[in-house]
Amino acid sequence: MIRSTHLPLLITLATFVLAYALCASAYPAMLSLRVVANLLTDNAFLGIAAVGMTFVILSGGIDLSIGSVIAFTGVFLAVILRETSIHPLAAFALVLLLTTAFGTAMGATIHYLEMPPFIVTLAGMFLARGAAYVLSTESVPITHEFYDTLQGLYWKIDGARFRLIGGLMVLTFIVGALVAHRTRFGQNVYALGGGEQAAKLMGVPVARTTIGIYAVSGGLAGLSGIVFSLYTSAGYSLATVGVELDAIAAVVIGGTLLTGGYGFVAGTFFGILIMGLIQTYIVFDGTLSSWWTKIVIGSLLFAFILLQKGLTWAAKKRAAQARMRTATGSAALS
């Protein structure tokens, strides 16, 4: 029997397959390897950030700072590579350290000051965006040779290029899924999402887990920023505005419950692909306004939220029935 917790993931998968089939029937070229490679390359930065967002939402929180952190990372890298002779790898390490520390600080604020994640990460969003503007208001090109080397790494079949950044996204999803489903930290995240009080009673280290979640989200936003800088060969403080909202949408379309506790990292992967597919279809069509992307994603989100509500309601009802049955059972016994 299919467990109801798996149902959203299955629906996401079905949506993806159906959407792809519809696209392919309209435009056979959508089945080409090129489109597959493009989906991976073009959504790499969003996908990596969405893995972090999955952990945050699984724990019942939210992280609004992601888009700003990505932009900050890009500008930071561009400026530091322009001003100093530091190697990009060292710069990557430095910026990952910075963004992880930034996430850690937000997590600590959320836990110790008992502030809602919404407010704390909103402050983080302004802070990171502001910091990016202070570094540079203009788009700063990155011309380091090492960037060319990294951009030159791809696996080419039939004209399709599977690039490094697409691979990195897939790897992030695999590691993310393993951490979520195979480690103590992952279990704690799910427990926290099920309810903080209950998690405490079960002996979940709430402080460490909360801080860890936002540290992971910050760090992955940093990684996403590195990928974005590879994608555009530049750092621009105006870039990736609103990416956090796209990431949240991908997580929800991927079947993760917005209230936390239920969901799969793999679902987010398909959420990302569905969103990418919609964009690709609209470009292939070429007559639709590209704002339709937002309308379709909005409708999908709404449908998935309704589905979540329905499932939660059904689960509650079943639980209530079960309680009633045990109650009547014990009454009959006595």
Partner 1 sequence: MKLKTTLLASVIALAPMAAMAADLTIGFSQIGSESGWRAAETTVTKQEAEKRGIDLKFADAQQKQENQIKAIRSFIAQGVDAILIAPVVATGWDEVLEEAKDAEIPVVLLDRTVDADESLYLTAVTSDLVHEGEVAGQWLVDEMNGEDCRIVELQGTTGSSPAIDRKTGFEQGIEGHDNLEIVRSQTGDFTRAQGKVVMESFLKAEGGENICALYAHNDDMAVGAIQAIKEAGLKPGEDIRIVAIDAVPDAHKAIADGEMNATIELTPNMAGPALDALEAYLADGTEPEKWIQTESRLFTADDDNMAIFNEKKDLGY
Q: What six digits make up the tokens of 76?
A: 């930071």
Would you say the C-alpha torsion 301, 306, 308, 309 has a positive or negative sign? Answer: positive
User: What residues form DSSP beta bridges with 1?
Assistant: none
Binding-residue total with partner 1 (CB under 8 A)? 36
Least distance to partner 1 from the beta carbon of 38, Å?
Answer: 4
> Maximum Cα–Cα distance for the chain, whole Å?
81
Site for partner 1 in 129-158 (CB under 8 A): 139-141, 151
Cβ proximity of 161 and 36 under 8 Å: no
284 binds partner 1 (CB under 8 A): yes
**What kind and span of H or E run contains 98?**
helix 88-112
Instruction: Please report where in the chains the tokens 């964009």 appear, as a residue.
Output: 279
Least distance to partner 1 from the beta carbon of 231, Å?
Answer: 7
The whole-angstrom separation of Cα 188 and Cα 183 is 9
- Closer to partner 1 by CB, 152 or 329: give it: 152
161 binds partner 1 (CB under 8 A): yes
- Closer to partner 1 by CB, 108 or 288: give it: 288
203 binds partner 1 (CB under 8 A): no
- Closer to partner 1 by CB, 191 or 243: give it: 243
Per CB under 8 A, the segment of 176-184, 212-220, 258-266, 282-290 that binds partner 1 is: 282-290
Closest CA to 227 of 50, 27, 68, 92: 92
286 binds partner 1 (CB under 8 A): yes
Instruction: Please report where in the chains the tokens 């159906």 appear, as a residue.
Output: 18
Cβ proximity of 164 and 230 under 8 Å: yes
Q: Site mask, partner 1, residues 217-256, x = CB under 8 A?
A: -----------x--xxxx-x--xx----------------
51: burial class by Cβ within 10 Å (0-12, 13-18, 19+)? buried
Residue numbers at the binding site for partner 1 (CB under 8 A) = 27, 29-30, 32, 34-35, 38, 41-42, 45, 139-141, 151, 159, 161, 228, 231-234, 236, 239-240, 276, 279-280, 282-287, 289-291
